Amino acid sequence: MANHYALITGASQGFGKSMALEFAKRNINLLLVALPNSKLWALSWFIKKNFQVRTLCLELDLSLKDSCYIIDDFIRDNALQIKYLVNNAGILSRGFFEDMDDAFIERQIKVNVLAPTLLTKLLLDNLKKTSPSAILNVSSMAAFFSLQKKQVYGATKAYLLSFSKSLRKELKKDNISVTTVCPGGLNTTTRLCYQNRILGLLPRKSSLNPEEAAVIAIDAMMKRKNVIIPGLINKFFMLLDKLLPEFVKDILTKREIKKI
């Protein structure tokens, strides 16, 4: 394991940062990727100092296709062995579809869909060499629901869920597992913490701290599970989705969306 690494995208804050720290606690070397000017170097330095694991970082914009090739070239040039690939980087929703900027929609699709797909393709040979290895794709509970203000975001996360489940079957022969984590609300930023607090009782209680979700997600990946939904209340929501009629679900979701 001396030269084995976990590659995590979107690693500078929130869920990605929590997963980076959790991997470090498990004595796993890290290759961290996040946006330019995200102070990723500071997190990398902190992990090196406190966990004694090798930590490398790249500040790249994953909405640019070339960034995936830069990551691949960096891995080849430094002879890194990627044991775990965590596709976490993503762009959240921004309101009603008719009000969204065209450039924002394009950027959201590129980061949420193209980047994890291309990066997975580029690193397959590397993952095969380190097998048994694993891919962890960060989807969302939005992948299962039709929600206002989350139309493009939900669609991109539904793609990632479907892609992951199909890829899991293909890569079984190569001893590479593919796990998809579908969290609900995460208290990752000041805005999201406030947003999660003003929701109804159940949605509010369903929100998790990223540190909790990181442990659940990485444990699931290590156990080579398929799809994981962190939190008991979120699992309860999935059960309600199967039981409640569509018009009731529309009333409930519309009420919560209005608060956002």
Q: What is the largest CA-CA distance in the chain?
A: 55
Number of Cβ within 10 Å of residue 90's Cβ equals 24
The residues near 118 (Cβ < 8 Å, ≥ 6 apart) are 65, 68
Q: Say which DSSP state 130 is in.
A: T
The DSSP output letter for 180 is: E
Catalytic residue at 84?
no
Give the DSSP letter of residue 87: E
Closest by CA to 136, choosing from 210, 218, 211, 68, is: 218
DSSP per residue, 200-229: -HHHHHH-B-HHHHHHHHHHHHHTT-SEE-
Among 69, 84, 153, 194, the active-site one is 153
CB within 8 Å of 102: residues ≥ 6 apart? none
> Catalytic residue numbers?
153
